[in-house]
């Protein structure tokens, strides 16, 4: 589990996590932002939603100490992204149960430059991808490789569906760019196919509760170096800028991106701590047990050691004799323990990342560690054995 946590910290999340401050904003489902359409399970959003987020990006991006600002509907490793199915125009329509799926997030045009997500092909979103323009989309490498393995994805059109509602978007979207994979669902998870759509290119009416994805965004600020050391001051200016747009809009979950990543490791860290507690108890019991057994063994052979010393044996000979006995027992215990561990560790195999249940390096490190504990536990009895007085030992019963 320790090795798993080390491996997770080495994973590339797909973007630059340094100097990023994040926070959540959820516009209310009612009032000036959203209203329910009479006669059906449909919700109509107001143009004020796009206006709010447009002004939010502009105002916060101009704040002192902020290099750039962007909004994204699914912040990597913190927010659960929407999962939409889709159809590729120009290809045979799949059966409903076999439709391909992809993660989905509404974003502002500059989200890729703010997060420093690398562009692999085509272009990213820009200011021309507005409500009145052709609907576009940017996909990740995983989607391009899976669904366009032998062709150029740029220029292909897909039609998204609001799962679980069997309702397609009103217009198809053209793929204009391919970006690198981002660990949206955690450092230990594979990057699934994912699509990014401009938040301004959205329908006015959404089926069911899918409008919530349009109302919710995470604000991401790329700050200058050292600005996050005094982030309370920066946060105050951000809240002031938001209040100028909507004084009733709260801000929640304010965290640095490093903090978001650390929180995403919470389950693995919890597993490691739990296993570590039991491992520590096992090591303590093993050390006490080895010490007790070796002490008893040395005491039982005190008379023998006296005879050996009286007949000319050196202290090194006695130490070698005790050490050989200890080494045999230790090696036997490590072999038996390793065989048992190969079976037991399969119980935690689903919690491992970047390391196999039978990883030889881990077994070697643990074997050396336990061997060192055994040597330490045997040191005092062995030391006592070599310092015994022959005359005292010969009279010892």
Note the pLDDT of residue 393.
Answer: 63
3-class secondary structure for 352-370? CCCCCCCCHHHHHHHHHHH
Element at 83 (helix H, strand E): strand 82-88
More confident residue, 294 or 336: 336
CB burial of 334-361 (b: ≥16 within 10 Å; e: otherwise) equals beebeeeeeeebeeeeeebbebebeeee
Sheet containing 34-37: order of strands: 34-37, 42-45, 205-207
Count CA atoms closer than 13 A to 389's CA, side-chain side. 4
Note the pLDDT of residue 67.
Answer: 94
> Residue 293's pLDDT band (boundaries 50, 70, 90)?
confident
More confident residue, 362 or 238: 238
Which is it for the CA torsion 340, 346, 352, 358, positive or negative? positive
Q: Can you tell me the mean pLDDT for 181-199?
A: 90
pLDDT of 205 higher than 60: yes
Note the pLDDT of residue 147.
Answer: 94
pLDDT of 85 higher than 80: yes
Total-model pTM: 0.78
What 3-state DSSP class applies to 96? helix
Give the whole-number percent of the chain exceeding pLDDT 90.
Answer: 39
More confident residue, 392 or 215: 215
Picking from 191, 264, 190, 277, the residue whose alpha carbon sits closest to that of residue 2 is: 277
Q: Can you tell me the mean pLDDT for 318-326?
A: 81
The C-alpha atoms of residue 21 and residue 285 are separated, in whole angstroms, by 46
Note the pLDDT of residue 163.
Answer: 76
Tokens of 146: 């899976």
Picking from 134, 130, 109, 124, the residue whose alpha carbon sits closest to that of residue 154 is: 124
More confident residue, 61 or 312: 61
The C-alpha atoms of residue 216 and residue 202 are separated, in whole angstroms, by 13
More confident residue, 53 or 38: 53
> Residue 322's pLDDT band (boundaries 50, 70, 90)?
confident
Which residue's entry shows tokens 């309370």?
A: 232
pLDDT of 379 higher than 80: no
pLDDT of 281 higher than 70: yes
Note the pLDDT of residue 39.
Answer: 59
Burial tier of 38 (Cβ tally within 10 Å: 0-12, 13-18, 19+): exposed
Q: How far is CA 337 from the centre of its chain?
A: 31
Q: Can you tell me the mean pLDDT for 8-29?
A: 90
Note the pLDDT of residue 378.
Answer: 74
pLDDT of 164 higher than 80: no
Picking from 182, 184, 188, the residue whose alpha carbon sits closest to that of residue 3 is: 188
pLDDT of 325 higher than 90: no
């Amino acid at each position: 589990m320790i090795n798993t946590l080390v491996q997770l910290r080495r994973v590339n999340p797909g973007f630059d996590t340094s100097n990023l401050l994040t926070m959540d904003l959820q516009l209310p489902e009612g009032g000036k932002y959203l209203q329910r359409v009479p006669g059906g399970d449909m919700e109509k959003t107001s143009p004020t939603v796009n206006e709010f987020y447009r002004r939010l990006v502009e105002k916060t991006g101009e704040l002192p100490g902020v290099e750039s600002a962007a909004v994204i509907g699914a912040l990597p490793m913190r927010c659960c992204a929407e999962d939409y199915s889709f159809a590729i125009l120009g290809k045979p329509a799949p059966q409903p149960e076999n439709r391909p799926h992809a993660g989905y997030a509404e974003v502002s045009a500059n989200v890729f430059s703010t997060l420093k997500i690398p562009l692999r092909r085509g272009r990213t979103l820009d200011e021309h991808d507005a409500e009145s323009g052709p609907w576009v989309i940017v996909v990740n490498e995983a989607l391009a490789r899976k669904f366009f393995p032998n062709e150029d994805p740029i220029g292909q059109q897909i039609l998204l569906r609001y799962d679980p509602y069997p309702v397609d978007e009103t217009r198809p979207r053209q793929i204009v760019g391919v970006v690198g994979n981002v660990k949206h669902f955690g450092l230990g998870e594979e990057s699934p196919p994912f699509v990014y759509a401009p938040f301004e290119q959205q329908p006015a009416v959404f089926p069911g509760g899918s409008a919530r994805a349009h109302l919710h965004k995470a604000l991401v600020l790329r700050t200058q170096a050292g600005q996050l050391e005094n982030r309370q001051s920066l946060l105050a200016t951000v809240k002031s800028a938001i209040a100028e747009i909507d004084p009733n809009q709260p801000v929640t979950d304010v965290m640095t991106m490093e903090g978001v990543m650390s929180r995403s490791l919470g389950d693995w860290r919890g597993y490691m701590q739990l296993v570590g507690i039991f491992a520590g108890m096992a090591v303590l019991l093993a050390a006490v047990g080895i010490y007790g057994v070796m002490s008893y063994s040395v005491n039982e052979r005190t008379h023998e050691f006296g005879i050996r010393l009286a007949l000319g044996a050196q202290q090194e000979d006695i130490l070698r004799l005790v050490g050989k006995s200890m080494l045999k027992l230790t090696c036997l215990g490590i072999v038996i323990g390793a065989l048992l561990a190969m079976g037991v560790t399969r119980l935690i195999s689903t919690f491992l990342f970047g390391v196999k249940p039978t990883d030889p390096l881990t077994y070697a490190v643990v074997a050396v560690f336990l061997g060192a504990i055994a040597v330490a536990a045997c040191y005092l009895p062995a030391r006592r054995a070599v310092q015994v007085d022959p005359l005292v030992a010969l009279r010892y019963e």
